[in-house]
């Protein structure tokens, strides 16, 4: 029992110290380890398996929509990076440079990619010539490097894994449709796979991606009522195409520039899963991306036939396509229960001598702790149903957190009072569109603009800073 108790006590309570709780969970669940280079983390097998499952689902969705995977070099010549002014200025503080090749100084220093727009543009300039070459629907799975001053597991790495889609289109309308389509792919993935409700919206000019004309975002609320930007989709217009001299002959035999998009999500989403769903006992993983969906734990496994019965259940679930494991180690049942609870395994299937006599097993849910006795003949059906129920309940709880902590206000004083009283959350106000007013909200209240929601009320109000009449709705909050 002492060992079992220690297992739970190793995790700080969420509401006592949320940051420490997060770190405890990441370490205790063996998702990440620290390396000797600040800001560069080791993704351990369990953490990487979560990313692999997310990657497989997203990759399949991208390919359904006609996207193809490619791979670009990791080094960008400085002259190439300099071609788009806004883009390079935005990333300059985060660039890491290679200046030596072996023992010789390079003639031109190379940037380790912080993102790959310039590399794709160089390539597109070589392969796009006619309207028949369009659209180009490419995606890349890779790592990128941004020299962050501060780091935190999953949320802010210097090197992190992501996917970055880069597409070219013959018309602005096609490119805008692509931008919006990919935003919806991310929103559906967050809600239907990760059980994370989202607010879909458009970033302000201050917060949009460097070089983009328009940036769409999905914003999620964490348990501590802070925002997490879960994914973004950018419309570039023809700005990059002009900078990189990408042209094609259109159907009217006129030389013109194509229109571009890019969109991406990263391993930061794993941090979002932890902070949205976890509790004081550790992880709670959405079933669709959990490396182990079901853990089979034999009870009184030293007794005759118990291990064989448990292994039979494991084999049946594996044959049904469930990601399942059995723990037949010599650890106590209590230790095992605490271990897989901490690791966030959605369902625990237990079977012992008494269950065998009754031809049943016990299934425990990670999200609620509820136990259900299920006839062995109904095992596969019950597990499939319960995995769905776990997902829907996780989404409902996260949705309630979002709704309960979303507010409206008219003045900056009201925004500040609401956030202080509630210790965080999202506050929706009107906004005149002025950068000065956006910066003033940061100075006076300590919040950033999260997005202008796609669902606008259409009503008239006043800007909380300048008092000017306006109709644009905007969300404010503190973000990771």
Domains defined for the chain, CATH in brackets: 11-277 (3.30.930.10), 294-389 (3.40.50.800), 406-477 (3.30.110.30)
Closest CA to 211 of 75, 77, 71, 82: 82
Q: Beta strand pairing status for 248-249 and 255-256?
A: antiparallel
183: tokens are 């935003």
**pTM metric for this prediction:** 0.94
pLDDT, position 33: 96
In whole angstroms, what is the distance from residue 203 CA to residue 214 CA? 7
Q: Say whether the peptide bond before residue 135 is cis (omega within 30 degrees of 0).
A: yes
Q: How far is CA 266 from the centre of its chain?
A: 6
CB 167 within 8 A of CB 173: no
Residue 96 burial by Cβ neighbours in a 10 Å radius (0-12, 13-18, 19+): middle
What per-residue confidence (pLDDT) applies to 4?
Answer: 41
- The whole-angstrom separation of Cα 9 and Cα 359 is 36
State which residues of the chain have pLDDT below 50. 1-8
CB 164 within 8 A of CB 111: no
Contact 134, 248 (CB under 8 A): yes
SS3 content of the chain, % helix, strand, coil (to 5): 40, 30, 35
274 Cα distance to chain centroid: 10
Q: 78 is written with which tokens?
A: 């400085």
The confidence score (pLDDT) of residue 213 equals 97
**Strands in 148-307 per DSSP E:** 159-169, 199-202, 214-221, 227-237, 248-249, 255-256, 259-266, 294-298
Which contacts of 359-363 are long-range, i.e. CB under 8 A and separated by 24 or more positions? 361/313
Integer distance in angstroms from the first to the last C-alpha of the chain?
38
What confidence score (pLDDT) does residue 464 get? 97
What are the residues facing 138 on neighbouring strands?
Answer: 68, 166
């Amino acid at each position: 029992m002492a060992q079992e108790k220690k297992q739970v006590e190793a995790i700080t309570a969420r509401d006592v110290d949320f940051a420490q709780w997060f770190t405890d969970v990441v370490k205790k669940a063996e998702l990440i380890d620290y390396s000797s280079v600040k800001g560069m983390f080791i993704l351990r097998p369990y953490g990487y398996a979560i990313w692999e499952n997310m990657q497989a689902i997203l990759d399949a969705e991208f390919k359904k929509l006609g996207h193809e995977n490619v791979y670009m070099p990791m080094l960008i010549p400085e002259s190439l990076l300099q071609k788009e002014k806004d883009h390079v200025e935005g990333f300059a503080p985060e660039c890491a440079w290679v200046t030596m090749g072996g023992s010789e100084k390079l003639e031109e220093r190379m940037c380790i990619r912080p993102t790959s727009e310039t590399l794709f543009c160089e390539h597109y300039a070589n392969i796009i010539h006619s309207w028949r070459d369009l659209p180009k629907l490419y995606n890349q799975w890779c790592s990128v490097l941004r020299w962050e001053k501060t780091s935190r597991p999953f949320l802010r790495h210097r090197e992190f894994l992501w996917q970055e889609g880069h597409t070219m289109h013959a018309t602005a309308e096609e490119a805008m449709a692509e931008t919006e389509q990919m935003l919806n792919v991310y929103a559906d993935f967050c809600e239907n796979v990760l059980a994370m409700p989202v607010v879909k919206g458009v970033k302000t000019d201050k917060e949009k991606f460097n070089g983009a004309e328009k940036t769409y975002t999905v914003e999620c609320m964490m348990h501590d009522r802070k925002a997490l930007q879960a994914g973004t989709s950018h419309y570039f217009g023809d700005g990059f195409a002009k900078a990189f001299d990408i042209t094609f002959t259109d159907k009217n035999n006129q030389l013109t520039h194509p229109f571009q998009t890019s969109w991406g999500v990263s391993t930061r989403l794993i941090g979002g899963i932890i902070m949205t769903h976890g509790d004081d006992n550790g992880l709670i993983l959405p079933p669709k991306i959990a490396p182990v969906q079901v853990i089979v734990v034999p009870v009184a496994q030293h007794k005759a036939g118990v291990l064989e019965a448990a292994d039979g259940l494991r084999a049946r679930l594996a044959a049904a396509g469930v990601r399942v494991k059995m723990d037949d180690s010599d650890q106590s049942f209590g230790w095992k229960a605490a271990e897989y609870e901490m690791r966030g395994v959605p369902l625990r299937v237990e079977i012992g001598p008494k269950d065998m006599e009754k031809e049943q097993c016990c299934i425990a849910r990670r999200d609620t702790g509820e136990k259900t006795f299920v006839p062995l003949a109904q095992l596969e059906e019950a597990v499939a149903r319960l995995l769905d129920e776990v997902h829907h309940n996780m989404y409902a709880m996260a949705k309630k957190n979002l709704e309960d902590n979303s507010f409206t206000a008219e003045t900056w004083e009201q925004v500040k009072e609401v956030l202080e009283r509630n210790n965080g959350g999202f506050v929706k106000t009107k906004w005149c569109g002025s950068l000065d007013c956006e910066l003033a909200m940061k100075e006076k209240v300590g919040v950033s603009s999260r997005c202008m929601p796609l669902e606008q009320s259409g009503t008239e109000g006043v800007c909380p800073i300048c008092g000017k009449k306006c109709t644009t709705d905007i969300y404010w909050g503190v973000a990771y």
